[in-house]
Structure 1
Amino acid sequence: MSDDERLALRFADGDEEALAEVYTRWSRLVFTLALRSLGDRAEAEDVAQKVFVGAWRGRAGFDPARSGLAAWLVGITRHCIADAHDARARRLRAEEALVGGAVLTALVSERDDETAAVAERLMIAEELDRLEPVPQRVMRLAFFDDLTHSQIADTLGLPLGTVKSHIRRSLVRLRTRLEVSDEPYRP
């Protein structure tokens, strides 16, 4: 029986010293996989911690006859990385929704008169229709379909930076066109 096999059996039996050896032996691999995928050191450290806590808590599900301990840890790592990506995407969607909502709220002034609010929404829709086709599609996906910048880039096959540029320029254009002047209307 090899050292790895003995270590795997000790780990599966709940030997805390085996856990320390497992961590020493494979924590760098787990961290490196997480860092390469996530690109963020703090998130990678969180994933590494979750992997080893999860492995220890779920050691009853580890079967040394089915796979080696390293392969099992890599499997757990892949799941934890996927969870981290999902959490990041949820955070980004929430942040973008807050920013998008704040921008649209700034564009459409709050009024008690429901008719005025409907008229303003129609003005915004009309201004969106004046945009070029690609920026118009980007804005509609961002604000009406509630897609993230990355999702828009994937949907339209555009680079992420291009999507962000279209949104930024379109918002500036919309704001400029929709700003209310204090001067009286003169035909």
Structure 2
Amino acid sequence: MPSVEAGLPSPADIAKGFAEGREESLADAFRHWSGLVFTLALRSLGDRADAEDVTQQVFVSAWRGRATFDPATGELGAWLTGITRHRIVDRLAARSRDHRNAEAAAGLAQPATAPEQVDDDVVDRVLLADELAKLDDPRRTILRLAFYEDRTYPQIAEQLALPLGTVKSHVRRGLLQLRDRLGEVNGDDASR
């Protein structure tokens, strides 16, 4: 029976429709619980853009995994809260990796002693890490997962709750963007 104040079906009706795969129930679930999911993410992450991304990832993950939700054994709101916690942990872990990578790159960029000869591979790695850090998410995260953590595209798509085609597009566009940016940094030196 629809709730009078919000014009939405009851949480139990939303949960039942969600479990049955009715798309209108996904929209109802988003209207009903996205505020809660966003607030949890914002309080934990302290960044509005990250909280918005997490909110989107939660509902995409929930919809894809709806077959594992049973309205008879639990409430949809509680289930979504659990997914939210996992996505927040994933985002915090990604931040931690980004921070460690930035520190490692900074450590490589500041040699303890002035070497007579600079290793070109080290310079290239530092330059690449610096340019990668300038990319926006999710492209930066996708490229790091693909090339630093050696994840496959399907693994990345599953971890970030993104369509496989989106992951592939981000990798392709990210590589093109890095190529263009590195070409500018190197002055488009063809002899390199």
Deviation at 1:12, TM superposition (A): 0.6
Deviation at 1:99, TM superposition (A): 0.9
Could you list the per-position Cα deviations for residues 92-150 of structure 1 after superposition, in whole angstroms to 9, with x for gaps in the alignment?
000011112212x2x322236xxxxxxxxxxxxxxxxxxxxxxxxxxxxxxxxxxxxxx
Counterpart CA distance in 2 for 1:12 and 1:58 is 9
Please name the residue that 2:81 is paired with.
Answer: 74
Counterpart CA distance in 2 for 1:79 and 1:50 is 10
Please name the residue that 2:98 is paired with.
Answer: 91
Alignment partner of 2:16 out of 9, 14, 20? 9
Please name the residue that 2:32 is paired with.
Answer: 25
Matches within 5 A, 1:91-110: 91-103=98-110, 105=111, 107-110=112-115
Counterpart CA distance in 1 for 2:32 and 2:71 is 17
Residue type matched to 1:84 in 2?
R
Please name the residue that 1:111 is paired with.
Answer: 116
Q: Secondary structure at the match of 1:99?
A: helix
Q: Secondary structure at the match of 2:21?
A: coil
Counterpart CA distance in 1 for 2:71 and 2:43 is 28
Gaps of 5+ in 2: 2-8, 118-192
Q: How many residues align?
A: 110
Q: Which runs of 4+ in 1 moved over 3 A?
A: none
Could you list the per-position Cα deviations for residues 132-184 of structure 1 after superposition, in whole angstroms to 9, with x for gaps in the alignment?
xxxxxxxxxxxxxxxxxxxxxxxxxxxxxxxxxxxxxxxxxxxxxxxxxxxxx
Residue type matched to 2:115 in 1?
E
Counterpart CA distance in 1 for 2:10 and 2:31 is 14
- Does residue 49 (structure 1) correspond to residue 56 (structure 2)? The answer is yes
Structure with higher Rg: it is 1
Counterpart CA distance in 2 for 1:77 and 1:48 is 7
Deviation at 1:3, TM superposition (A): 2.1
Gaps of 5+ in 1: 113-187
**Structure with a larger share of its residues in helix:** 1
